[in-house]
Amino acid sequence: MLFAIACEHGWEVYQLDVVAAFLNAYTDRDVYVRPAPGDEERDPTTGEMMVYKLEKSLYGLSQSPSLWNDAINDRLIIFGWQRAHSDPCVYIFVRRDELTILAIYVDDILITGGNKEIVSSKKKELMDSFEMTDMGEVKRVIGIAVQRDYELGTLAISQGPYARDIQQRYGMEQANPVSTPGYGAELSTEQPQDQLLGPEDKQRFQAITGSLLYLAQCTRYDPSYAVHQLKRACANPAQVHMAAAKHLLRYLRGTPDLPIVYKKGQFRLSCFTDSSFGANPDNGRSITGYLFFLGGGLISYGAKAQTLAAQNTLEAELQALSFSAREAVYISNFMTEIGFKTFRSVSINTAPEH
């Protein structure tokens, strides 16, 4: 949504990278560590081996992410930012009716707004408070490549380098590409015992599925259902599931750079939803598919199993509409909260029932 907003208004999106983010937060409890071998010290009085007491959080501590989140949040609040209730990783700053938006993902910060002077001053405040690297206008963040064309008024996001890395990691970089992500065979989780994968292949299948899941969650909407099928089989995968995973890698071989493109002048929110009646071969439940567009590009999408078994196609469609309506409420609330009041209503399009 941040990219769609920036594209529509012609705002530049800047990136800051926090250096050793977790080390900026102080510990909230007493934590002691043993010194590294060779650096041991003994108490001169008792002769007992001494330990170190941590003053700041450290990578590897379970509470370190939360402590860093509290530290950066406290500083942003001091600087006048307002935290969004609908998304705690997004902050807004308004001065003289000029909107500035900031988004945080662990140690990556994106900031954009209509007034360059305000954006620059807010960046400086953060860089004076924490050690950060100014990456300039964003080109790549959390594995997502960002391409901007100001003349055409477009902003494209894709994961080409990540998709190629997956293929290389699992030895599929020279595989013949296929034209569709779906394997086509029945992918039930109930498979004959002699078809189940061994421990090594099972771990490999789970690793492939995890890599594909991140791809599908960020920018690749097209293999969402195929990844959903693989995910269901992770506990007990068989040879057919491994074949389906390799088929999906072959599909990515032919479409590594497929982008989501946002276009200026198309700042409308629309939703399309559908269901596949009884598509789950294990329990007969239906699958919900949904797409939300803003600025001509996708901002939310997915393929999810329905929680209740529908008795007919109408019930399946109603469950899909219900799920999409909940997502629409979230998006509408978020857009309204950050200052875009025109998104209080959302049109949801679905297939007609005959």
Q: Provide the pLDDT for residue 353.
A: 60
Q: Helix %, strand %, coil % for the chain, to 5?
A: 35, 25, 40
State residue 349 phi and psi, 5-degree precision. -105, 135
pLDDT in tens, 300-310: 998 888 988 99
Q: Which two tokens stand for residue 342?
A: 């025109």
Per DSSP, the three-state class of 136 is strand
Low-confidence ranges of the chain (pLDDT < 70): 352-354
Q: Provide the pLDDT for residue 13.
A: 97
Which amino acid appears at position 183 of this protein? Y
Q: Count CA atoms within 13 Å of residue 206 on its CB side.
A: 10
Q: Provide the pLDDT for residue 280.
A: 80
Q: Provide the pLDDT for residue 351.
A: 77
Question: What is the CATH code for 265-350?
Answer: 3.10.20
Please state, in angstroms and rounded to a whole number, the distance separating the CA atoms of residues 269 and 328: 9
Please state, in angstroms and rounded to a whole number, the distance separating the CA atoms of residues 274 and 256: 26
Please state, in angstroms and rounded to a whole number, the distance separating the CA atoms of residues 251 and 202: 21
Burial label, 226 (beta-carbon count in 10 A; 0-12, 13-18, 19+): buried
Please state, in angstroms and rounded to a whole number, the distance separating the CA atoms of residues 198 and 194: 10
Q: Tell me the pTM.
A: 0.87
Q: Which two tokens stand for residue 70?
A: 């509290």
Per DSSP, the three-state class of 213 is helix
pLDDT in tens, 40-82: 888 888 878 888 888 888 888 889 999 999 999 999 999 999 9
Q: Which two tokens stand for residue 34?
A: 């043993």
Which amino acid appears at position 219 of this protein? T
- Domain locations in the chain? 1-142, 175-254, 265-350
